């Protein structure tokens, strides 16, 4: 177990016979996962074959400590433990037992293989189903992006599967809780119609989105003696971590499955529940405690200190308007900083971090800058500020898409140039970005000159004109060195155009290998660009497998241009965690990476976004949950208390992952020029007032 010396409580977990079930509960940072990883090590060293051990987590990121553990070189030789989410398990089983269930589940072509959809490809098919309805005027009064509309309909289907009700009941449930304007009732009906049609479309075309995978697993496979027998014989030992972040269907299945494991370690983080908006249910999770033979409680923390704990308690009291008396010690672990405008705040954060790193010896990787949302401009300004001070920074925005990456934009422009038959428009701006990326080190001015002189957006079929045709003065300005590369690029594209076209993923892999990664070209030695290319190729491949259309390369390009396919960048948390750099991340994402940071900066403290949830006109995370009574109305009272509760939980979670100090940053005028005094800022102001009042007391 590396250099950690385990506590007595942790030792007690691992010094057992691998028999019987244990329910381990405790707050974040109390060492539960560390004990579980040591337990896994113990199981493997005691001779249990790895592939008989199932490690289940609600989300891949939460499995990282186990993924790392099974990569250690000192493990005994043999098979590896199986690390899965419920969805991953469902997908495996549906593949395996497809011939047995496909017909009964209503698929039109049980003789053909199933096609498992990703979040992206599901959006693509949703577009096929919903676009004609949008043309008929569906969702006329709803102002949200098309892809968010699609993702909410998919989310509704998922919620029905997670909670365990018929997807045809969605609108009934949503409407029963609605108290606002009647026009919304029609929106729910239309969302229901879309969900029904999408499900039908999936059944007709052998497509399985997450909801359908889970429903088939839960209602058709799990109930089969054959499947249960297979599962109980395959897996004899279970580690199920972060049950509080999993969905009721997972808890139901584990309720029945758990007794058949030879040993089981079930772990609950008593502060968690951050994935509630994705269907996680802490209450159904805790029912697993009842069937475990032994219950163990971990106390304390390896991460925070008593002053941070006091700050956490004071903030909860302030937020929930309870009476409290803060200890002056909390002053030492937080600081509130106000600036009038955003740029000044960015500068202040940069200077503060510079002094933390250079004067106080804090490692950059121990610093996290957190905000409810991280916009592109915020991310860019922070990265630039830190870079100018020589501080390494990394950012995590789950919503950052592959199509936003310059390397992707370059590759897709090249794809359009190479496939004139697609007749897709190409702008000069795209040519500029492509040249700067392809040639590496080419400046904006020269790239612009090339785009102006060598390309006509009106005649995209003609592609790039030859450098040799330019007048000598222009050639001089662009430079002959660039001219040579331009000619090499043109020659490559010409040769490709006259040969048999490849599928888009094949084209991307080839131009990367034959041209862009060659010495002198922009992707040579650039690991980030190579990683982006690999992810793009993978995204196109998944799309190609799911969309059998002959012109699927062109279709992919169109879908990405319209934003239907966002090609989410599945940058691994592992990659991010490994670098010693300041992390810039949405607060919620930081919580789900489950890693502590010594110093945290909380940005936009005045913003209401810390408190209120994202507007989702087609769905509702609380109404679509198992504990919501079908006849109850969702009023402002419920809304207020849900927001309060979720902010309180988030603050506890952030501080549970903080070992040093919090800097709370507030700008009078936010990025949009508005003044905001949201509940987070108010809680800190209340705390300041009380601390000041204590100081003036005799």
**Number of helices and strands in the chain (H, E):** 28, 14
User: What is the C-alpha to C-alpha distance for residues 105 and 228, in angstroms, rounded to an integer?
Assistant: 18
Cβ proximity to ligand ATP, 394 vs 656, nearer residue: 656
User: What is the C-alpha to C-alpha distance for residues 57 and 83, in angstroms, rounded to an integer?
Assistant: 8
Cβ proximity to ligand ATP, 14 vs 504, nearer residue: 14
In eight-state DSSP terms, residue 460 is G
In angstroms, give the least distance from the CB of 654 to ligand ATP.
12
Q: Determine if residue 304 is labeled as part of a ligand binding site.
A: no
Q: Give the residue, chosen from 54, 130, 212, 303, that forms a contact with ligand ATP under the rule CB under 6 A.
A: 303
Helix H, strand E, coil C: the string for 29-84 is CCCHHHHHHHHHHHHHHCCCCHHHEEEECCCHHHHHHHHHHHCCCCCCCCCCCEEE
Cβ proximity to ligand ATP, 64 vs 437, nearer residue: 64
In angstroms, give the least distance from the CB of 275 to ligand ATP.
13
Structure tokens at 144: 């949200």
Q: For residue 391, state whether it binds ligand ATP (rule: CB under 6 A).
A: no
Q: Give the residue, chosen from 14, 22, 28, 532, that forms a contact with ligand ATP under the rule CB under 6 A.
A: 28
- The count of other CB atoms within 10 Å of the CB of residue 135 is 8
Q: Determine if residue 530 is labeled as part of a ligand binding site.
A: no
Choose the binding region for ligand ATP from 1-9, 74-82, 327-335, 348-356 (rule: CB under 6 A). 1-9
Cβ proximity to ligand ATP, 300 vs 398, nearer residue: 300
In angstroms, give the least distance from the CB of 31 to ligand ATP.
3
Q: Give the residue, chosen from 21, 22, 31, 173, that forms a contact with ligand ATP under the rule CB under 6 A.
A: 31
Contact in structure between 632 and 693 (CB atoms under 8 Å): no
Cβ proximity to ligand ATP, 171 vs 597, nearer residue: 597
Choose the binding region for ligand ATP from 27-35, 176-184, 518-526, 619-627 (rule: CB under 6 A). 27-35
Mapped onto helix, strand or coil, the DSSP state of residue 617 is coil
In angstroms, give the least distance from the CB of 521 to ligand ATP.
42
Q: Determine if residue 30 is labeled as part of a ligand binding site.
A: yes
Q: For residue 643, state whether it binds ligand ATP (rule: CB under 6 A).
A: no
Choose the binding region for ligand ATP from 23-31, 210-218, 226-234, 438-446 (rule: CB under 6 A). 23-31
Q: Determine if residue 50 is labeled as part of a ligand binding site.
A: no
Cβ proximity to ligand ATP, 596 vs 660, nearer residue: 596
408: nearest Cα among 518, 557, 579: 557
Q: For residue 10, state whether it binds ligand ATP (rule: CB under 6 A).
A: yes
Cβ proximity to ligand ATP, 275 vs 485, nearer residue: 275
Q: For residue 594, state whether it binds ligand ATP (rule: CB under 6 A).
A: yes
Choose the binding region for ligand ATP from 29-37, 250-258, 468-476, 673-681 (rule: CB under 6 A). 29-37
Choose the binding region for ligand ATP from 12-20, 31-39, 44-52, 477-485 (rule: CB under 6 A). 31-39
Mapped onto helix, strand or coil, the DSSP state of residue 361 is coil
Choose the binding region for ligand ATP from 32-40, 112-120, 317-325, 558-566 (rule: CB under 6 A). 32-40
Cβ proximity to ligand ATP, 416 vs 656, nearer residue: 656
Instruction: For the chain, give percent helix, strand, coil, nearest 5.
Output: 55, 10, 35
In angstroms, give the least distance from the CB of 661 to ligand ATP.
18
The residues, ordered by sequence, that sit 6+ positions from 561 with a Cβ below 8 Å of its Cβ are 424
User: What is the C-alpha to C-alpha distance for residues 385 and 381, in angstroms, rounded to an integer?
Assistant: 6
Contact in structure between 295 and 289 (CB atoms under 8 Å): yes
Binding residues among 599-638 for ligand ATP as defined by CB under 6 A: none
CA distances from 164 to 106, 176, 219, 224 (A): 18, 18, 9, 17
Q: For residue 32, state whether it binds ligand ATP (rule: CB under 6 A).
A: yes
CA angle 74, 78, 80 (to 5 degrees): 85
The CA-to-CA distance between both ends of the chain, in Å, stands at: 53
Contact in structure between 206 and 115 (CB atoms under 8 Å): yes
- Side-chain-side CA neighbours of residue 476 (13 Å): 3
DSSP letters, 564-595, are S---B----HHHHHHS-SEEEEEHHHHHHHT-
Count, residues near ligand ATP per rule CB under 6 A = 17
Exposed/middle/buried for residue 629 (C-beta within 10 Å: 0-12, 13-18, 19+): exposed
Q: For residue 586, state whether it binds ligand ATP (rule: CB under 6 A).
A: no
Q: Which segments within 299-406 are labelled E, that is strand?
A: 334-339, 367-371, 393-395
In angstroms, give the least distance from the CB of 250 to ligand ATP.
17
Choose the binding region for ligand ATP from 22-30, 46-54, 225-233, 251-259 (rule: CB under 6 A). 22-30
Cβ proximity to ligand ATP, 606 vs 653, nearer residue: 653
Contact in structure between 151 and 119 (CB atoms under 8 Å): yes
Q: Give the residue, chosen from 132, 302, 452, 635, that forms a contact with ligand ATP under the rule CB under 6 A.
A: 302
Q: For residue 1, state whether it binds ligand ATP (rule: CB under 6 A).
A: no
Structure tokens at 521: 């070209």
In angstroms, give the least distance from the CB of 14 to ligand ATP.
12
In angstroms, give the least distance from the CB of 595 to ligand ATP.
7
Cβ proximity to ligand ATP, 269 vs 676, nearer residue: 269
Question: Which letter, b or e, does each residue of 533-547 get, where b requires 16 or more Cβ atoms within 10 Å of its Cβ?
Answer: bebbbebbbbbbebb
Binding residues among 267-286 for ligand ATP as defined by CB under 6 A: 269
Q: Determine if residue 47 is labeled as part of a ligand binding site.
A: no
Contact in structure between 231 and 257 (CB atoms under 8 Å): yes
User: What is the C-alpha to C-alpha distance for residues 509 and 507, in angstroms, rounded to an integer?
Assistant: 6
Cβ proximity to ligand ATP, 41 vs 604, nearer residue: 41
The region, left, alpha or beta by phi > 0 then psi within -120 to 50, assigned to residue 640 is alpha
Q: Determine if residue 581 is labeled as part of a ligand binding site.
A: no
Q: Determine if residue 32 is labeled as part of a ligand binding site.
A: yes
User: What is the C-alpha to C-alpha distance for residues 395 and 415, in angstroms, rounded to an integer?
Assistant: 28
Q: Determine if residue 3 is labeled as part of a ligand binding site.
A: no
Cβ proximity to ligand ATP, 41 vs 676, nearer residue: 41
Cβ proximity to ligand ATP, 370 vs 516, nearer residue: 370
Helix (H) or strand (E) holding 159: helix 146-163
Q: Give the residue, chosen from 34, 263, 395, 408, that forms a contact with ligand ATP under the rule CB under 6 A.
A: 34
- The count of other CB atoms within 10 Å of the CB of residue 60 is 17
Structure tokens at 690: 């009380």
User: What is the C-alpha to C-alpha distance for residues 584 and 393, in angstroms, rounded to an integer?
Assistant: 7
Choose the binding region for ligand ATP from 24-32, 319-327, 505-513, 633-641 (rule: CB under 6 A). 24-32
In angstroms, give the least distance from the CB of 378 to ligand ATP.
26
556: nearest Cα among 361, 403, 435, 427: 403
Cβ proximity to ligand ATP, 13 vs 566, nearer residue: 13
β-pairing, 294-297 vs 237-240, is unpaired
Binding residues among 234-273 for ligand ATP as defined by CB under 6 A: 269
- Which residues are annotated as part of the binding site for ATP? 26-33
- Which residues are annotated as part of the binding site? 26-33
Q: Residues in the site for ligand ATP, rule: CB under 6 A?
A: 4, 6-7, 10, 26, 28-34, 269, 302-303, 594, 596
């Amino acid at each position: 177990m590396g250099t950690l010396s385990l506590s007595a409580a942790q030792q007690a977990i691992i010094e057992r016979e691998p028999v019987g079930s244990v329910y381990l509960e405790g707050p974040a940072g109390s060492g539960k996962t560390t004990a579980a990883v040591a337990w896994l090590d113990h199981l493997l060293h005691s001779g249990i074959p790895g592939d008989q051990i199932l490690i289940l987590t609600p989300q891949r990121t939460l499995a990282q400590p186990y993924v790392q553990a099974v990569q250690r070189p000192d493990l005994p030789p043999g098979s590896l433990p199986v690390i899965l989410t419920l969805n991953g398990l469902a997908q495996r089983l549906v593949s395996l037992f497809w011939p047995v269930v496909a017909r009964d589940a209503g698929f039109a072509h049980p003789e053909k293989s199933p096609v498992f959809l990703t979040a992206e490809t599901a959006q693509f098919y949703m577009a096929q189903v919903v676009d004609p309805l949008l043309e008929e005027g569906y969702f006329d009064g709803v102002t949200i992006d098309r892809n968010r509309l699609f993702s909410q309909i998919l989310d509704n289907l998922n919620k029905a599967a997670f909670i365990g009700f018929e997807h045809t009941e969605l609108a009934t449930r949503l409407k029963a809780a609605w108290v606002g304007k009647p026009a919304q009732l029609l929106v729910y009906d239309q969302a229901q119609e879309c969900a029904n049609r999408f499900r039908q479309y999936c059944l007709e075309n052998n497509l399985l989105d997450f909801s359908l995978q889970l429903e088939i697993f839960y209602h058709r496979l799990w109930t089969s003696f054959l499947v249960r027998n297979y599962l109980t014989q395959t897996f004899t030992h279970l580690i199920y971590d972060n049950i509080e972040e999993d969905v009721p269907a997972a808890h139901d299945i584990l309720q029945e499955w758990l007794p058949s494991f030879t040993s089981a370690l079930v772990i609950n983080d008593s502060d968690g529940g951050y994935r509630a908006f994705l269907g996680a249910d802490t209450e159904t999770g805790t029912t697993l405690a009842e069937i475990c033979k032994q219950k163990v409680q971990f106390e304390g923390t390896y991460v925070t200190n008593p002053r941070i704990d006091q700050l956490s308690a004071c903030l909860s009291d302030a937020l929930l308007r309870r009476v409290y008396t803060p200890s002056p010690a909390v002053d030492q672990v937080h600081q509130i900083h106000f600036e009038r405008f955003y740029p000044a705040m960015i500068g202040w954060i940069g200077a503060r971090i510079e002094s933390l790193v250079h004067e106080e010896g804090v490692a950059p990787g121990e610093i996290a800058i957190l905000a409810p949302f991280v916009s592109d401009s915020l991310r860019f300004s922070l990265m630039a500020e830190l870079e100018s001070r020589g501080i390494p920074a990394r950012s995590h925005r789950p919503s950052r898409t592959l199509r936003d990456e310059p390397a992707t934009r370059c590759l897709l422009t090249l794809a359009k140039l190479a496939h004139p038959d697609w007749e897709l428009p190409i702008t000069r701006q795209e040519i500029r970005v492509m040249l700067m990326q392809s040639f590496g080190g080419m400046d904006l001015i020269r790239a612009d000159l090339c785009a102006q002189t060598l390309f006509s957006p009106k005649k995209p079929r003609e592609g790039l004109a030859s450098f040799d045709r330019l007048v000598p003065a222009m050639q001089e300005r662009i430079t002959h060195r660039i001219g040579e590369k331009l000619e090499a690029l043109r020659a490559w594209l010409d040769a490709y155009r006259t040969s048999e076209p490849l599928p888009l993923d094949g084209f991307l892999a080839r131009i990367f290998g034959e041209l862009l990664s060659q010495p002198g070209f922009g992707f040579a030695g650039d690991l980030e660009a190579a990683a982006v290319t690999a992810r793009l190729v993978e995204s196109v491949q998944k799309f190609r497998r799911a969309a059998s259309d002959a012109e699927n390369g062109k279709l992919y390009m169109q879908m990405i241009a319209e934003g239907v396919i966002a090609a989410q960048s599945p940058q691994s948390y592992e990659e991010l965690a490994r670098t010693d750099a300041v992390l810039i991340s949405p607060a919620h994402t930081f919580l789900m990476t489950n890693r502590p940071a010594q110093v945290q900066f909380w940005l936009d403290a005045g913003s209401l976004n810390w408190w209120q949830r994202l507007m989702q006109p087609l769905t509702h995370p609380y109404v679509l949950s198992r504990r919501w009574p079908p006849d109850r109305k969702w009023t402002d009272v419920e809304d207020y208390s849900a927001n309060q509760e979720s902010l309180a939980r988030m603050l506890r979670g952030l501080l549970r992952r903080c070992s040093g100090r919090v800097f709370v940053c507030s700008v009078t005028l936010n990025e949009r020029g508005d003044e905001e005094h949201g509940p987070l800022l108010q809680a800190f102001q209340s705390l300041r007032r009380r601390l000041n009042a204590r100081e003036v007391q005799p």
